[in-house]
Chains A and B, each alone.
With several copies, the nearest count.
Chain A
Amino acid sequence: MKRHIEICERPLASAAPASWLHDAGLSGAQVQFCGQVRDEQGQVQALHLEHYPGMTERVLRAIVAQAGEKWPLNGAWVVHRIGTITAGDDIVQVAVSASHRQDAFQACAFIMDLLKTRAPFWKKELIGGHWQWVEARECDAEAAAAWLQQASVHEP
């Protein structure tokens, strides 16, 4: 499985994952997730993302490796934006390729769910001229826990 993991301070190119994953007939399916800054009815003027350099890459590599063990993937791409960005900008791209679509859908959702709860990124939003930290969502923790429970059921 080829893999590309990157923390990026520049705008993300939406066509990049598809062309990087392209393998001329090996894979039958590509699934790509792209996360964008929501403006929440124009309230959010900007977003700032910080991370823990070193740990971030390590966690993302581990998540991608785990996805590669659970599903037969041919490629996995994770690029996450940091720094100050505005509504509509891309924050994260997760894309995978596989022979069959069910594997690609599941692996892509799995990587996103674990990234959301384990990769050390933090967002703050500029609302009404004030920066405020975004709170973690309980449903993200539940989504990640669901995958880990599934895994433990399969263990002997």
Chain B
Amino acid sequence: MIELRFFAALRERVGHDRLSVTPPEQVTTVEQLIRWLAEDNPTVASALAATPRYMVAINEELGSPASTLSPGDVVALFPPVTGG
């Protein structure tokens, strides 16, 4: 199981701030997770499609599409940050 978290415009587009998903075993990277979500979850798929650029964090640390995932990971997806 992977816990997804969404923030800012992406959260508004998804309509939830979190979602638990259980991708198949062969999904082991962020990139694969997102490709799988695009097929499995139309809401997340269209929210991501509507967000020109987004960032990812795994267990509260910035990651990249190539980052590997383990069951129980918290994967956050969000638009580029705009603090400060």
Q: Is A148 an interface residue (CB 8 A)?
A: no
Choose among A59, A115, A122, A134 the residue with the greatest number of B CB atoms under 10 Å from its CB.
Answer: A122
Take A58-B60, A58-B61, A122-B7 as given contacts and tell me if A49 and B76 are in contact as well, using a CB distance cutoff of 8 Å. no
Tell whether, in the assembled complex, residue A49 and residue B57 are in contact, meaning their CB atoms are under 8 Å apart.
no
Take A52-B60, A55-B60, A122-B7 as given contacts and tell me if A136 and B84 are in contact as well, using a CB distance cutoff of 8 Å. no
Q: Is A112 an interface residue (CB 8 A)?
A: yes
Contact with B along A97-139 (1 / 0, CB 8 A): 0000000000000001001111111111000000001111000
Residues in B with CB closer than 8 Å to A59 are: 60, 62
Tell whether, in the assembled complex, residue B8 and residue A133 are in contact, meaning their CB atoms are under 8 Å apart.
yes
Cα–Cα, bound, A134→B80 (Å): 10
Tell whether, in the assembled complex, residue A54 and residue B7 are in contact, meaning their CB atoms are under 8 Å apart.
no
Residues in A with CB closer than 8 Å to B57 are: 52, 55, 120
Q: Is B79 an interface residue (CB 8 A)?
A: yes
Choose among B80, B82, B83 the residue with the greatest number of A CB atoms under 10 Å from its CB.
Answer: B83
How many B residues, CB 8 Å from partner? 17
Chain A: which residue is nearest B59 at the CB level? Answer: A55
Residues in A with CB closer than 8 Å to B79 are: 122, 133, 136
Cα–Cα, bound, A124→B83 (Å): 10
Q: Is B49 an interface residue (CB 8 A)?
A: no
Residues in B with CB closer than 8 Å to A133 are: 8-9, 79, 82
Tell whether, in the assembled complex, residue A136 and residue B82 are in contact, meaning their CB atoms are under 8 Å apart.
yes
Which listed residue, B8, B9, B76, B81, touches A118 by the CB 8 Å rule?
B81
Cα–Cα, bound, A149→B49 (Å): 31
Which listed residue, A54, A80, A135, A141, touches B83 by the CB 8 Å rule?
A80
Q: Is A76 an interface residue (CB 8 A)?
A: no
Question: Which 6 A-B residue pairings sit nearest by Cβ, starting from the closest?
Answer: A121-B83, A136-B80, A122-B8, A55-B60, A116-B84, A134-B82
Given A54-B60, A133-B79, 4 more pairs with CB closer than 8 A: A120-B57, A122-B9, A122-B83, A135-B80
Show 18 A/B contacts (Cβ-Cβ < 8 Å), sorted by A.
A50-B7, A52-B57, A55-B60, A55-B76, A58-B60, A59-B62, A80-B83, A92-B83, A116-B83, A117-B80, A119-B83, A120-B83, A121-B84, A122-B81, A123-B83, A124-B8, A133-B8, A135-B82
